[in-house]
Amino acid sequence: MTQAAFILLAYLMGSISFGILVSRAFGLPDPRTVGSGNPGATNVLRSGKKLPAVLTLLGDAAKGWLAVLLAQHYGLLDAYICLAGLAAFIGHLYPVFCGFKGGKGVATALGVLLAFSGWLGLSVLVVWAIAFAIWRYSSLAALIAAGIAPISAWFLLPYKGYAATAFILALLLIWRHKSNIQKLINGSESGFSDKK
């Protein structure tokens, strides 16, 4: 398999929307019709069902993780491993199967970072958990964790392309959260337990 074909495969893997698939399997509303309109685990949780939300979270993380793992397994160079992770993430944000309207990428980014390095993924996850425990906003926790990711990658991984990739992931994730940022600023952001 050529590198280009592998990157395309990673993008297609990222384009699979587990939030939509899981919601259909459990007979729940399309997550794009509730809350923020994002087909991710937080919106699935707003249905009141925890299991579908957990499955969505795991599925979205797994596709980012698997794309990188396969690139590593087949011996691709670090640069192409980074591109595979980035392609899976972009697939989640702009999925070809859903009219290029996808999620915000938090779980998929975590999966990519975990595959880059378990310690990297764990450090970002711990930062997210601490920020969420303090402020109770999933979006704010994700933004803080995204900001930490490239710094952690820089210190934890010898190939600096991983830090560059983490930086691009962070920028895209922040961009996808621009409406959340505005709501956080004006105080109208929904907390995790809100059922809007």
- The sign of the CA dihedral 9, 89, 126, 48 is negative
For residue 104, the tally of other CB atoms under 10 A from its CB is 26
Q: What is the pLDDT of residue 43?
A: 85
pLDDT tier at 23 (50, 70, 90 boundaries)? very high
Counted domains in the chain: 1
Of 10 and 48, the one with more pLDDT: 10
Domain presence at residue 191: no
Domain presence at residue 192: no
Average pLDDT value for residue range 123-130: 98
Mean pLDDT of all residues belonging to the chain: 93
Lowest mean pLDDT among 37-51, 64-78, 160-174: 37-51
Domain presence at residue 144: yes
Measured CA to CA, the distance from residue 195 to residue 118 in angstroms comes to 33
Of 41 and 85, the one with more pLDDT: 85
Predicted confidence (pLDDT) at residue 194 exceeds the cutoff of 70: no
- The sign of the CA dihedral 121, 107, 81, 148 is negative
Q: What is the pLDDT of residue 67?
A: 97
pLDDT tier at 95 (50, 70, 90 boundaries)? very high
Domain encompassing residue 148: 3-186
Q: Which amino acid makes up residue 49? A: K
Predicted confidence (pLDDT) at residue 79 exceeds the cutoff of 60: yes
- The sign of the CA dihedral 71, 166, 105, 26 is positive
Over residues 147-192, the pLDDT tens digits come to 999 999 999 999 999 999 999 999 999 999 999 999 999 998 877 5
Q: What is the pLDDT of residue 192?
A: 58
Q: What is the pLDDT of residue 195?
A: 42
